[in-house]
């Protein structure tokens, strides 16, 4: 008879998912020796090796692959049980596990604060990551909900828009184009654009826009954060295209200016996304409804009061 603990299964599932002891330790807030000890005890319990090492990389053995499949099923069933128990408790308490793309981090905490003021016993875990990481979390069913711009097309997901996400062209306040009106897209081909990494929703929207207008986009610095683009634009290194929500502070203080360009703003939308067959907890469903019904009005009210 197997003598496994849920802790061992959770540690094993995390190591198997990342194929890394160090990354598993980071996710579980454990030391790497503690993770290694749990795996060693689990291997002793099943009397089979679960991982094999080739060079610096570890791989699942045949037994490891089988256990990985069962461990994910067991942990998912436990998660479903937790959801069911939370539903029996109602909205008095519960946990909300959500993720947001980095560009949504400029408004997501504000909305979460409003939600938590209303439901004070809810515990929230917010993970801010790039689009690629969040798509992986959705695929692995590791989060309840995700907030992102363009929803994925290759995953079995449910997605609904809850707020406009206008993309604007920004420049330093002393740029010569700041005084121009109705700037043509062709004129922008003479400028250098600072861009997000490939795969970013904003980067994809930029590339589609210039391609549709038959204009070549000159790219300069590439970075994985909007904050770095804002700083580089202020320093005069080029122009940027970003969500207006991410540049509110710089626009209000005059450190950045929105250019009057034909075809802009590009109106996109923020979406709340979850796996199609995922059973949402009462808390997650309530937060999803909150975004769909109140987010746009709350943000508009906040912007007017600022």
State how far the Cα of 22 lies from the Cα of 20, in Å rounded to an integer: 5
d(CA 86, CA 282): 7
At residue 5, φ and ψ (nearest 5 deg) are: -110, 155
Over residues 274-301, mean pLDDT: 82
Specify the pLDDT at position 177.
94
What is the distance between the alpha carbons of residues 210 and 187, in angstroms, rounded to a whole number? Answer: 12
Q: State the Cα–Cα distance between residues 229 and 225, nearest whole angstrom.
A: 7
- The SS3 assignment for 13 reads helix
What's the pLDDT at 303? 52
8 A C-beta contact, residue 177 and residue 190: no
pLDDT at 170: 96
What is the C-alpha separation between 228 and 234, in angstroms, rounded?
Answer: 10
pLDDT number for residue 281:
82
Res 306 pLDDT > 90 = no
CA distance 5 to 44: 13
Q: What is the pTM of this model?
A: 0.65
Q: Which fold has domain 6-81?
A: Arc Repressor Mutant, subunit A (1.10.10)
Average pLDDT over residues 98-112: 87
Q: How much is the mean pLDDT over the chain?
A: 87
- Provide the pLDDT for residue 299: 66
226-277 per-position pLDDT tens digit:
899 999 999 999 999 998 888 888 999 999 999 999 999 988 899 999 988 7
- Mean predicted confidence (pLDDT) in 288-301: 79
The per-residue pLDDT for 14 is 93
According to CATH, what is the number of the domain 92-163+269-305? 3.40.190.10
* Residue range 117-171, pLDDT digits in tens: 888 888 898 988 888 888 888 888 889 999 998 887 777 888 999 988 899 999 9
The three-state secondary structure class of 49 is: coil
Residue boundaries of the structural domains of the chain: 6-81, 92-163+269-305, 165-268
Instruction: Give the strand pairing for 157-171 and 239-243.
Output: antiparallel
Predicted pLDDT of residue 107: 86
pLDDT digits (tens, 9 = 90+) for 60-94: 999 999 999 999 888 888 877 777 776 666 555 67
6-81 and 165-268, same CATH topology: no
Q: List, for residues 170-227, the tens digit of each pLDDT value.
A: 999 999 999 999 999 999 999 999 998 887 878 888 899 999 999 888 888 888 888 9
Tokens of 66: 């089988």
Class at the top of the CATH hierarchy for domain 165-268: alpha beta
Q: Which residues have CB under 8 Å from 199's CB, separation 6+?
A: 130, 131, 132
């Amino acid at each position: 008879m197997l003598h496994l603990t849920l802790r061992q299964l959770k540690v094993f599932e995390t190591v198997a998912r990342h194929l890394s002891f160090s990354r598993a330790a980071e996710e579980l807030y454990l030391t790497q020796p503690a993770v290694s000890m749990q795996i060693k005890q689990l291997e002793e319990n099943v009397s089979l090796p679960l991982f094999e090492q080739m060079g610096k990389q570890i791989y699942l053995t045949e037994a490891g692959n089988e256990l990985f499949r069962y461990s994910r099923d067991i942990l998912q069933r436990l998660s479903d049980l937790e959801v069911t128990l939370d539903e029996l408790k109602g909205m008095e308490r519960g946990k909300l596990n959500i993720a947001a793309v980095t560009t949504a981090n400029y408004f997501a905490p504000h909305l979460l604060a409003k939600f938590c003021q209303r439901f004070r016993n809810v515990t929230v875990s917010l993970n801010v990551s790039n689009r690629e990481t969040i798509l992986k979390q959705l695929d692995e069913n590791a989060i309840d909900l995700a907030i992102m711009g363009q929803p994925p097309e290759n995953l079995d997901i449910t997605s609904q828009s809850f707020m406009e996400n206008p993309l604007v062209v920004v420049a330093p306040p002393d740029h010569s184009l700041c005084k121009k009106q109705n700037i043509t897209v062709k004129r922008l081909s003479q400028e250098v654009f600072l861009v997000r990494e490939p795969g970013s929703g904003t980067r994809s929207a930029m590339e589609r826009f210039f391609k549709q207008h038959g204009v070549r986009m000159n790219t300069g610095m590439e970075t994985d954060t909007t904050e770095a683009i804002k700083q580089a634009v202020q320093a005069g290194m080029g122009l940027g295209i970003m969500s207006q929500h991410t540049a509110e502070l710089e626009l209000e203080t005059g450190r950045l200016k929105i250019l009057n360009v034909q075809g802009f703003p590009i109106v996109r939308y923020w979406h709340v996304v979850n796996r199609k067959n995922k059973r949402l907890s009462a808390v997650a469903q309530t937060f999803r409804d909150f975004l769909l019904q109140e987010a746009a009005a709350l943000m508009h009210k906040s912007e007017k009061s600022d």
